[in-house]
Homo-oligomer: A and B are copies of this chain.
Amino acid sequence: MYQKLLEEIYAEIQPEIGKGKVADYIPALKNADPKQFGISVCNINQEVTSLGDAQQRFSIQSISKVFTLTMAFQVLGDKLWERVGKEPSGNPFNSLIQLERENGIPRNPFINAGALVITDILISLLDNPKQDLLSFLKELCNCSNIHFDPVIAQSEKEHGFTNAALVNYMKSHGNIKNDVEEVLDLYFHQCSILMNCEQLAKSFLFLANHGVIPHSNQRVLTRSQAKRLNAIMLSCGLYDQAGDFAYLVGLPGKSGVAGGISAIMPEQMSITVWSPALNRHGNSHAGMKALELFTTKTGISIF
């Protein structure tokens, strides 16, 4: 359906692919080939169009924050906001300053501190959070082949001192209820989940479909909750580049440090791009450009 458009974008985007810098804070990421680029569009009727390295798996990293937030939001509803805010942060994603000034309540669930609180909530709510998270993802994308990458999870753990600082600090403020190590373990695992563009595009479709998974007709969130989760993605999904993304792309989206970005257009479609080289804000350089081209060429925008 979008085949020709994607080819056009792919051609135009060539000079941008590889620009920027692959994440190098853990060995497991820094060997990624910066020249890789994949894109998948999935419309509300579940028709998928893909191009480039769209079948190549990568660790979803912070994109997982959308899935864990959905799981916690499903159960707790608006009670969730007692432990985490929903305002944009205006600071880099791992900032301690905001946390100190606001007594251990993270600004939103998409900065690391907020996502760690969500992870802590899942541990309290679920008997087998790791398995439950994988099961949820399998349902979302209608595919049983999803698992953690143990090498990445271990590597994250070995270099996860900033996240350990965040969890310990929030624990000192009473905003982490479970054991510090347990929270970090689940968090590093969720970041390590391997998915490809197609799987991610399918998985985000319920957010474009008022909270219902199209292929199974299963309701994940209420209509209102789905809108609200999209609102949070729009204002907080791309760290301190959220305003830029709203301005240039105009869709709710979430990025990860391995180079993935997933976005949705309500009632229409879901798009995932992936290219490992990052701009200085930690978002995929070519991914941003591709999404900007996509919405410019199609005129699609929530605004």
Minimum CB–CB distance from A188 to chain B (whole Å) comes to 14
A7-15, A90-98, A144-152, A189-197: which lies at the interface: A90-98
The yes or no answer to A231 lying at the interface (CB within 8 A) is yes
Minimum CB–CB distance from A90 to chain B (whole Å) comes to 3
Closest to A161 in B: B172
Chain A binding surface, main DSSP class: helix
C-alpha spacing A192/B144, complex, angstroms: 54
Known contacts A99-B96, A164-B164, A165-B165: A235-B243 contact under CB 8 Å: yes
Known contacts A96-B169, A100-B96, A168-B161: A243-B303 contact under CB 8 Å: no
Q: Which residues of B contact A169 (CB under 8 A)?
A: 96, 161-162, 165
Is there an interface contact between A244 and B303, defined as CB atoms closer than 8 Å?
no
Q: Which residues of B contact A85 (CB under 8 A)?
A: 243
Is there an interface contact between A88 and B86, defined as CB atoms closer than 8 Å?
no
Is there an interface contact between B228 and A247, defined as CB atoms closer than 8 Å?
yes
Known contacts A227-B303, A303-B234: A88-B252 contact under CB 8 Å: no
Known contacts A90-B88, A90-B89: A235-B242 contact under CB 8 Å: yes
Give residues of chain A (222-236) contacting chain B, Cβ–Cβ below 8 Å. 223-224, 226-228, 230-232, 234-236
Is there an interface contact between B98 and A227, defined as CB atoms closer than 8 Å?
no
The yes or no answer to A108 lying at the interface (CB within 8 A) is yes
Is there an interface contact between A228 and B303, defined as CB atoms closer than 8 Å?
yes
